[in-house]
Structure 1
Amino acid sequence: MCDLPPCPDGPFRQPALIALDRRTMLGGAAALTLTACARARESGALRFWATGYEGDYSPHLMVPFTAATGIEVETQSVPSTAAHEKFLTAFAGGVLPDVFMLPSGWVGEFAMIGAVAPVPSPALVADTLPAARAIAQVGGRDYAVPWAIAPQVQFYRRDLLGAAGYDAPPTDWAGWLRMGSALKGRRPGEFVFLALLNWPDTLFSMLYQAGATLLRDRDTRGNFRTDEAREAFAFYKSLFDEGLAPKVLSTEVQDPYAAFAQGRFAVWPSWPTLLLDLHRRAAELPRERWGVARLAGPNGPGPATMVANSLCVASTCERPAEAWALVRHLSSAASELRFQSLIGNLPARASAWDAPQMADPVLAPFAEQMRQPAIAPPVVEWERIQNEVQLVAERMVRGGLSIDEALAAIDTRIDRILAKRRALVEAGRIA
């Protein structure tokens, strides 16, 4: 149930539940994919898939590529919530596109199953920011070319904080809570922070900032029953216990941008692409009323979650030279800067950061955060581990588990997920 106060016409709303047959959905998706692939092959076009705003706006980057090479590119924007399964289904069916975008956490998995080709030349990644390149490597080998990098920061309402006596959010956790209490005291019917329960990035940022090492024994077991992890979980839980953050999932928030504009909450940990939404809706929330800052840490800002979107070429691609030429074009400094102006993505190319447009003061907190990246453990099971942590943490926030019970449950679930990896490591079959 949504814990927010009644707001019939507002942005928070309990979603309708729709029963869908999973087999029908997958069957329909596979049929559509096969049809699209056949159409692209008949036209001689390269096929490109991407998710989110990258998928929506990628056609803007294809025009100069086609003009220079004569190669047409058929693009497809894949919904983020369905992308992982769609890509795996396409690989199993032998219909992966020539080039596709993968979030950083998926590169190892797709390399392991042989779905992506190794990067053929170091020149393709030579100008890449070190943290972005590390995320796209598997066993020290490049399997993807970083395309955009996104460290987590906090967006905040300048006017709401100012009314409570703050020019900007405090940089430490104790100060963050004091600010939260001050804001809540002025507006008891509203919230202060938005930390969606099914988006675990904010919790993981807190874990990294607390200095938690999330796996142990050569990354084969969970390591959440530590003082550092307990400190992060306690702070995260306190945001909900004190009524500073709503206990909601993303499916229960109809329009978070409208909620931010209306002052339903004042601080929103998020990513660079939020810049596009705020620009689009400047009439609702003028630029002077919001700001960006690094996330608070136990004793000041520290490492925070960082994701990168990378470009891969399918191992089954029949036109690899043309596919890598497309990757080279899309990941060029010029293309990444074009995307930055279109959707707010931050370039993965180091040289692109010297461009005048990157001197915008609103980008400074992102640049500072990239100097303290938090890199997830290099295990292909990490996506599953994140999901399990999120599920247990949600149960804890809702009162079903104590902090210690949650940490123990997480370690148990991680140990189960990593059982095969542990056996392979112990047998000396993988490092």
Structure 2
Amino acid sequence: MRKPRTTIAAASLLALAACSGQAPATPKSLTVWIMGDSSAHFQQLVKPFSGRSGIEVDAVAIPWDAVDQKFTTAVASGKGPDVIQIGLSKLRTFTDSGALAKLDDQTLKDHPGLAAANFLDGVGNATSVPWVSDTRVLFYRSDILAQKGITKPPATWDEVRADAKLLAGRGKGQYGYYVPQWDSALPVIMTWAQGGAVVGANGEITFDTPAFRKAVDTYTGLYTDKSVPTDADFDQIQGFISGAAPMLASGPYLAAAVASAAPQLRGKWSVAMIPGATAHTSLLAGSNLGVWNGSGNKEAALRLLDFLSTPQTQLAWYKLDGELPTAKAALRDPALNADPLVAVYARQLTDAKPLPRVPNWDGETGKALLDCLNSIALTGADRETALRDLYARTNGTHVG
């Protein structure tokens, strides 16, 4: 059995303590802000860390729709957690705020766990390290599709639209597909599927392209066909389980939720690569972990990041919460890849890219995009007027 590695920084602290005759101060607890509803699972994950280090971890759940307000308040007050989870779409905003501690080369060198980690998407940036990876794949109820004579999942968005219309004909309250009205990534994925991009050669956001217009056709067409629910509060998990919405694009976490809530459906659903006309490019999403700049427990926080970066910990997290690792060694794990669903996720990750790194995608560019599309699809707004408004609202937005 290997002996636990002592970080250089920790060793230095011990040496100083020996000279002074005092033991180094070890914090009794760390506060970690976990986004969404995974705090209970996270608390379970870090039990081995707490057992070895004597440092308790208090995982605080922050609902995704409250992230911006909570973060803004913490920055203004200077009172944040010790460690914070950061969605990739918010990474630039969080970094630009100055609220996160710098993770420079020397810092990483002092923490062998982080220095040795070979992450899927590099090391994030100078203020955070990758935590979980995510991508969107097509979920489909093979049993329900088969009832309508559909023997394989749709491979293009045109096929999605045709199959969804057929499935929606099953009766009242039955749909063919689910469009999350809050998801600004979906129309971008639809644009990539047409071989297009939403960032121009000059590094600025541009939606005024033929590929994006085709994506608009698909997005709004699903509503025109009455193939998707119009209720903003429609529950995608229950809709998939009940069969009301037997197709949707989502991440691996949905598989974990469905398997847990409806084990009787085993073998009646599966996943496939994201549909595409000229490409099957999907979203590279997920989240990073950063250390709060004002934390008085930075060394202990980095020790926690050391623990969380190991392949064993990341594989344990997948089993607990259904979120994919970012450590390449974990993604290559034979037991993980024996799962046919994971094989699809892994293949999709080889053709995936993040949303444009612009300031406040969720609150500005992404919001403008959804305002445009949902106004056309849900309220009957004039298409060309809505598109011109989108172009004006996003004009000059530069990717950093």
TM-score band, normalised by the shorter chain? Answer: 0.7 to 0.9
Letter in 2 for 1:161: L
Selected match of 2:217 from 216, 229, 234: 234
Q: 1:324 aligns with which of 302, 311, 334?
A: 302
* 2:50 alignment counterpart: 66
Q: Per-residue displacement from partner, 1:352-408 (whole Å, max 9, x unpaired)?
A: 023213320011221111001122222223222111211111101124334333322
Equivalent residues of 1:148, 1:310 under 8 A apart: yes
SS of equivalent residue, structure 1 residue 105: helix
Question: Cα–Cα, structure 1 residues 217 and 293, in superposed 2: closer, same or farther, change >3 Å?
Answer: closer
Residues 255-334 of structure 1 aligned to structure 2 (within 5 Å): 255-283=235-263, 285-299=264-278, 301-334=279-312
**Is 1:400–2:390 an aligned residue pair?**
no
Q: Which of 344, 348, 353 is residue 374 of structure 1 equivalent to?
A: 353
Q: Distance in 1 between matches of 2:257 and 2:275?
A: 23
Q: Give me the whole-angstrom Cα distance separating, in 2, the residues matched to 1:110 and 1:178.
A: 41
Instruction: Rate the CA distance shift 1:162–1:169 in 2: closer, same or farther, 3 A.
Output: same
The Cα shift of 1:125 comes to 6.0
What is the CA distance between 1:187 and its match in structure 2?
Answer: 4.3
Query: Paired residue for 1:344, among 308, 317, 322?
Result: 322
Question: Structure 2 CA distance, aligned partners of 1:209 and 1:133?
Answer: 25
Show the counterpart of 2:117. 127
Q: What residue is the counterpart of 2:36 in the other structure?
A: 52
Aligned to 1:146: 130
* Matched-pair contact (CA < 8 Å) for 1:150–1:307: yes
Q: How does 1:243-254 map to 2 (within 5 A)?
A: 243-249=226-232, 252-253=233-234
Moved more, 364-373 or 290-299: 290-299
Alignment check: 8 A CA contact 1:230 1:403 kept: no
Q: Deviations over 1:304-337 (max 9, x none)?
A: 1221111100111222221111011122211111
Under a length normalisation based on structure 1, what TM-score does the superposition of the two structures give?
0.79
Contact 1:303 1:372 in 2 (8 A): yes
Distance 1:193 1:152 in 2: 15
Cα offset, 1:164, TM superposition:
1.9
Which secondary structure state, in structure 1, belongs to the residue aligned with residue 162 of structure 2? Answer: helix
Contact 1:99 / 1:323 at 8 angstroms: preserved in 2? yes
Contact kept, 8 Å, 1:247 with 1:397, in 2: the verdict is no
Offset of 1:176 from its aligned partner?
2.1
CA distance in 2, matches of 1:114, 1:201: 26
Displacement after TM superposition at 1:296 (Å): 0.9
Instruction: Look up the SS of the partner of 2:252 in the other structure.
Output: coil
1-structure distance, mates of 2:115, 2:165: 46
Letter in 2 for 1:298: A
1:153-172 equivalent positions in 2, closer than 5 A: 153-172=137-156
How many pairs are equivalent? 368
Give, in angstroms, the shift of residue 126 of structure 1. Answer: 5.1
CA distance in structure 2 between the aligned counterparts of 1:89 and 1:42, rounded to whole angstroms: 28
Amino acid at match of 2:108: S
**2:239–2:246 contact (8 Å) kept in structure 1:** no
Query: Is there any run of 5+ residues in structure 2 with no aligned partner, and where?
Result: 1-24
Deviations 1:59-88 (A, max 9, x none): 012211111112222221111111221022
Where structure 1 has 5 or more consecutive residues not aligned to the other structure, the ranges are 1-40, 423-430
Residues 326, 42 of structure 1: alpha-carbon distance in 2 compared, 3 angstrom cutoff: closer
1:259 to 1:376, Cα distance in 2 relative to 1, 3 A:
closer
Cα drift, residue 218 of structure 1: 3.6
- Aligned equivalents of 2:198, 2:175: Cα separation in 1: 30
When the two chains are superposed, the root-mean-square deviation of aligned CA atoms in Å is 2.4
Cα offset for 1:157?
0.6
SS in 1 for 2:337: helix
Supply the distance in 2 between the matched residues of 1:205 and 1:126 (Cα, whole angstroms). 33
Q: In structure 1, the residue corresponding to 2:38 is in which secondary structure?
A: helix
Q: State the distance in 1 between where 2:385 and 2:173 align.
A: 32
- 1:189, distance to aligned residue in structure 2 (A): 5.2
Secondary structure, counterpart of 1:216 in structure 2: coil
Aligned in 2, Cα 1:143/1:218: closer, same or farther, shift over 3 Å?
farther
Asked if structure 1 preserves the Cα contact closer than 8 Å seen for 2:174 and 2:244, the reply is yes
Q: What secondary structure does 2:152 align onto?
A: coil
CA distance in 2, matches of 1:85, 1:243: 35
Q: Which residue of 2 aligns with 1:411?
A: 391
- 2:21 aligns to what? none
CA deviation string 1:6-54 (max 9, x = no partner): xxxxxxxxxxxxxxxxxxxxxxxxxxxxxxxxxxx99831111111243
Residue 186 of structure 1 deviates from its aligned partner by 4.5
How far 1:241 sits from its partner (Å)? 0.4
* Paired AA for residue 410 in structure 1: L
* TM-score calculated relative to the size of structure 2: 0.85
SS at match of 2:150: coil
Question: 1:208, 1:303 within 8 Å by CA — same for their partners in 2?
Answer: yes
Once residues 354 and 217 of structure 1 are traced to their aligned partners in structure 2, the CA distance between those partners, rounded to angstroms, is 35
Aligned 8 A contact 2:189 2:283 in 1? yes
